[in-house]
Amino acid sequence: MAITSDEDLRSLELPSETPMGQPLDWAWLRGARSEWGMKPVPGPRGLTMMDIATGSYGEIEEEPQFRSMAPRGSDIDENTPDMGYILNHKSQVWADNVIELYEEAVARQWSSTRDIPWGDLRELPSDIEHAMCQLCTVLTEIEMIATDLPAKWMWRMNHHFLEAKMFLSTQIMDEARHSDVFRKRALANGGGLLVSRAGSESLLRTILEAKTYTQASALLHLLGEGFILDIFRQGELIAPTPVEKKIFRLSMQDEARHVAYGTMHIRQAIAGDPDVEAEIHEALDHGEKVFAEFGTQPDLSSALAVLLAGGVEHIEERGFPMQSTMATKIFTSYLARCERAGLNRIDRTSLPLDLLGIDRDQFTREGVRPTKERGEDGLRH
Ligand SMILES: [Fe+2]
Ligand SMILES: [Fe+2]
């Protein structure tokens, strides 16, 4: 029988206490306020978070009433405790692509132990092996910032925005794997970890110390991870063997999700509160400077040039020109990403556009195109 009212409940004559004398509450048996009987239909992939975000379960409120871990859609006690969340407005954490990105992340997890053909590594010329080890040292150092940063803010995010927290949990796992795979690569071919310079640490500190989550997200997702994504996109040119190519390709898929979330989040954060735009610009004014210093630090740039050139002997005629083409691509792509996020950086940035070979007028026409692999919403289509 369907139990829909207190009267139905009373008619069952259920006990009001246990044999030990403890009180019992049968209110849940009535179905509370939930939409009992609504049955999500699994799609070809199985039962996704999109499938169950139906009816009131899928309604993400702008400003949720409670600040507790009570599941969205349940019948919540009025006196549920306040967990001390400070990110209680949807535009402070949400991105409309976040549920799909979470599902994609879960479906595309990989293992650095199992999925990289480590057995195929062969002895490389000493300069190339050293350059690869230096690049891996920098990468394994900086990857974990994208774990620490979301972790720093997540417990401050209202649990009503559950899927955003779930997505950030996948980012945390992804970054642990990146840190792990580059550490493994540094050691796996008889080389090791080389030098760690203060420049990398200053960059990480700038990101970690951002005053708001949205500023932090702009620095991390738009600038930092965007930069790393574009380096991984050049993996075919950088990687000396198919082993590194695979590492870059798999890591690139993960980074693309993080950047897709951040780009959409920033766009919605600005739409939700126009004052946020100035805040983000300020963070990026500083962030771009620190980033340019990081990107041009002498050890990282020499190691990259050697890998692009295929050896120290070709660094002048091949390494440097390729590196400068790569820098143009990276910063064009960053500025275009800012446009997609609703930020006009091209007219504000103090990046040396002339030196980077970026033409302002050309850029405004081409800068807003969606990337090849992802559409305007940052999702794979
Ligand atoms: Fe990463
Ligand atoms: Fe990332």
Q: Which ligand is nearest to the CA of 144?
A: 1
- For 247-302, the DSSP string reads HHHHHHHHHHHHHHHHHHHHHHHHHH-THHHHHHHHHHHHHHHHHHHHHT-HHHHH
Query: Which has the closest alpha carbon to 163: 82, 256, 51?
Result: 51
Report which bound ligand comes closest to the CA of 170.
Answer: 2
75 CA → ligand 2 middle, Å = 36
Q: Which long-range contacts (CB under 8 A, 24 or more apart) does 308-314 make?
A: 308/237, 308/238, 310/128, 310/240, 311/125, 311/127, 311/128, 312/127
Tokens of 8: 């139905």
Across the range 237-249, mean pLDDT stands at 97
Least confident of 32-41, 54-63, 153-162, 308-317: 32-41
Ligand 2 centroid, distance to 299 Cα (angstroms): 22
- For the beta carbon of residue 96, count every other beta carbon within 10 angstroms: 14
Distance 177 CA to ligand 1 centre (A): 8
Please report which ligand is nearest the Cα atom of 220: 2
pTM of the model: 0.93
Contact 237, 322 (CB under 8 A): yes
Q: How many angstroms does the Cα of residue 61 sit away from the middle of ligand 1?
A: 31
Q: How far is the CA of 280 from the centre of ligand 2 (A)?
A: 19
Alpha helix positions (H), the chain: 6-11, 49-52, 90-93, 98-107, 126-143, 145-154, 162-188, 198-208, 213-217, 225-233, 235-238, 242-272, 275-295, 298-309, 320-340, 360-366
Residue 91 Cα to ligand 2 middle (Å)? 21
Check: CB of residue 115 under 8 Å from CB of residue 97: no
Q: Given this model, what pLDDT does residue 8 score?
A: 81
- 78 CA to middle of ligand 1, Å? 41
Q: pLDDT tens across 205-215, in order?
A: 888 999 999 99
The bound ligand whose nearest atom lies closest to the alpha carbon of 177 is: 1
Distance 207 CA to ligand 2 centre (A): 13
Q: What residue ranges define each of the domains in the chain, with the CATH number in brackets? A: 94-105+120-366 (1.10.620.20)
Query: Closest ligand to 140 CA?
Result: 1
Ligand nearest to the CA of 143: 1
Give the distance (Å) from ligand 2 centre to CA of residue 43: 29
**Cα dihedral value 248, 251, 254, 257, nearest 10:** -30
Distance 171 CA to ligand 2 centre (A): 6
> Which letter does DSSP use for residue 115 in this model?
S
| pLDDT bracket for residue 369 (50, 70, 90) | very low
pLDDT tens, position by position, 288-319: 999 888 888 889 999 999 999 999 999 999 99
Cβ(249)–Cβ(69) below 8 Å: no
Buried b (16+ CB within 10 A) or exposed e, 212-234: bbbbbbbbbbbbbbbbbbbbbbb
Say how many Å lie between the CA of residue 162 and the centre of ligand 2. Answer: 20
Question: What is the CA(349)–ligand 2 centre distance, in A?
Answer: 23
CA of 225 to the centre of ligand 1 (A): 7
pLDDT interval class at 368 (50, 70, 90): very low
Average pLDDT over residues 130-152: 96
> Which ligand is closest in space to the CA of residue 176?
1
